[in-house]
């Protein structure tokens, strides 16, 4: 049995759902597609992986091939995975505790102790690094902006740490753009203090702007100029010498996959292309210390949005601090370290995603499943065997297991396989701010 191939085959939630269904009875591709609400082509691809791993057998009935689980292989895999699961995910199956010899138990405890020590060292190193970099890249204190009698931003305060992606969420008209314009020096605040990397933005605006990259909510490049010359012009504004502007502009076009459109007028670009070129212009002077993005993915296609999010995460890895305004909760939750919500000029909530969800284990990842036996009898035993999880019984007597980290689905199936229960239904789910 090729363990690596088997483990790779089950490291996918869709394939685990297929195995769960096939443990009950035979299915053809069309039936599985209907059950899981997926295309037949997608189901066929997953079935191919499972068959190559030796987990499935097929039998042709009429016009359709019907599949079932190779139970001997699954049972052998359940035994093989116990030690892997115990050490790597701290999940133990029931018989591991009952049947494990004393000397193997001692060895298992030693391995767990070593893992714990490594984690403690890692946590200590992270804490020390945070202490070294504790100075805020952006600091806003009692910031206020009024337009006549209308107050757009009303006495807000927050800090953004170095290397952090900070999300600033709110509906249209909440004060997001007014706030970002004051921080980058385009608008003078009515009251309050703003510093960027220790530089007072009100007193030393040009110096502060020299370490910023700025992407406004509307693309601000020249329509009559082509993409290449727009980037060269922006590079010159940042004080870059003419010898370097050409190579930097060409590199930026290649990075954002706009090389073929480099000689095309900016007015001929699609909205997604315009946003990408505007971001490229903000990064033309090498990765800035802090990048301000005002709703960068609004109104553009899904693929362009995905590329922009990947670019933001890559910039963070390079040490760039990112201030992101958006009204898409899913986007902020996916990439931001901390999020602030602004409404009617006031910050109404601020913190990490877990903190904003209440800090309990009710957030994160979960599995919703239904068994053929009394759900109450499994709840306590599941919590005992799967450390760090919480199991709740739903009104329809199904079970929901949740944890802060992603829960491997195979050990859950193996648990029911060993205890004699039959898993009738399982569905991984992700808890969000929505």
Domains and CATH numbers, the chain: 3-69 (1.10.10.10), 154-356 (3.40.50.300), 364-431 (3.30.70.100)
The pLDDT tens digits for 24-70 are 677 888 888 877 778 888 888 888 888 888 888 888 777 678 888 77
More confident site: 3 or 241: 241
User: Largest alpha-carbon pair distance within the chain?
Assistant: 81
Specify the DSSP class assigned to residue 373. S
Which tokens belong to 271? 């909205």
Query: How many CB atoms within 10 Å of residue 308?
Result: 21
Q: What is the mean pLDDT of residues 298-321?
A: 84
Specify the DSSP class assigned to residue 296. T
Least confident of 108-117, 120-129, 316-325, 371-380: 120-129
The sign one gets for the Cα dihedral 272, 275, 277, 280 is negative
The sign one gets for the Cα dihedral 418, 421, 422, 425 is negative
Question: E strands along 53-204, which residues?
Answer: 56-61, 64-69, 136-147, 150-161, 165-169, 191-196, 199-200
Q: Which residues pair with 369 in a beta bridge?
A: 399, 426
Please check whether residue 154 is in contact with residue 179, taking contact to mean a CB–CB distance below 8 angstroms: no
CA 422 to chain centre: 33
Which tokens belong to 157? 């305060």
**Predicted local confidence at residue 425, as pLDDT:** 55
Q: Pick from 283, 290, 284, 287: which is nearest to 318 by CA? A: 287
Least confident of 168-177, 234-243, 362-371, 412-421: 362-371
Least confident of 70-79, 211-220, 306-315, 422-431: 422-431
Q: What is the mean pLDDT of residues 283-292?
A: 83
């Amino acid at each position: 049995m090729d363990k690596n191939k088997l483990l790779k085959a089950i490291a996918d939630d869709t394939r685990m759902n297929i195995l769960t269904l096939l443990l009950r009875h035979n299915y053809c591709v069309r039936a599985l597609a209907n059950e899981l609400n997926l295309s037949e082509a997608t189901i066929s691809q997953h079935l191919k992986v499972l068959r190559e791993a030796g987990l499935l057998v097929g039998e042709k009935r009429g016009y359709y091939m019907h599949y079932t689980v190779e139970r001997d292989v699954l049972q052998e895999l359940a035994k093989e995975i116990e030690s892997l699961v115990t050490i790597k995910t701290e999940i133990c199956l029931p018989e591991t505790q009952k049947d494990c010899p004393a000397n193997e138990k001692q060895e298992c405890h030693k391995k767990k102790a070593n893992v714990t020590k490594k984690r403690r060292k890692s946590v200590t190193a992270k804490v020390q690094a945070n202490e070294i970099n504790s100075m805020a890249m952006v600091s806003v204190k009692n910031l206020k902006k009024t337009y006549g009698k209308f107050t757009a931003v009303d006495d807000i305060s927050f800090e953004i740490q170095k290397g952090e992606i900070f999300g600033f969420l709110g509906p249209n008209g909440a004060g997001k753009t007014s706030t970002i314009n004051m921080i980058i020096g385009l608008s003078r605040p009515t009251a309050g203090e703003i510093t960027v990397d220790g530089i007072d933005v009100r007193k030393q605006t040009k110096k502060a702007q020299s370490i910023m990259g700025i992407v406004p909510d509307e693309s601000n490049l020249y329509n009559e100029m082509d993409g290449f010359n727009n980037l060269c012009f922006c590079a010159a504004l940042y004080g870059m010498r003419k010898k370097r502007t050409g190579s930097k502009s060409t590199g930026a076009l290649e990075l954002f996959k706009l090389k073929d459109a480099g000689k095309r007028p900016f007015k001929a670009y699609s909205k997604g292309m315009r946003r990408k070129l505007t971001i490229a212009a903000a990064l033309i002077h090498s990765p800035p210390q802090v990048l301000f993005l005002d709703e960068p993915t609004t109104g553009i296609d899904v693929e362009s949005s995905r590329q922009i999010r990947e670019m933001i995460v890559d910039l963070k890895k390079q040490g760039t601090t990112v201030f992101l305004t958006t009204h898409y909760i899913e986007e902020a939750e996916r990439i931001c370290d901390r999020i602030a919500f602004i409404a009617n000029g006031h910050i109404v909530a601020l913190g990490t995603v877990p903190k904003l969800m209440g800090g309990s284990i009710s957030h994160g990842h979960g599995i919703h499943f239904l068994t053929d036996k009394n759900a109450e009898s499994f709840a306590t035993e599941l919590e005992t065997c799967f450390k760090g999880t919480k199991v709740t019984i739903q009104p329809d007597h199904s079970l929901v297991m949740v944890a802060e980290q992603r829960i491997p689905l195979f050990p859950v199936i193996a648990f029911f396989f060993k205890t004699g229960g039959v898993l009738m239904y399982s569905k991984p789910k992700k808890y969000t701010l929505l």
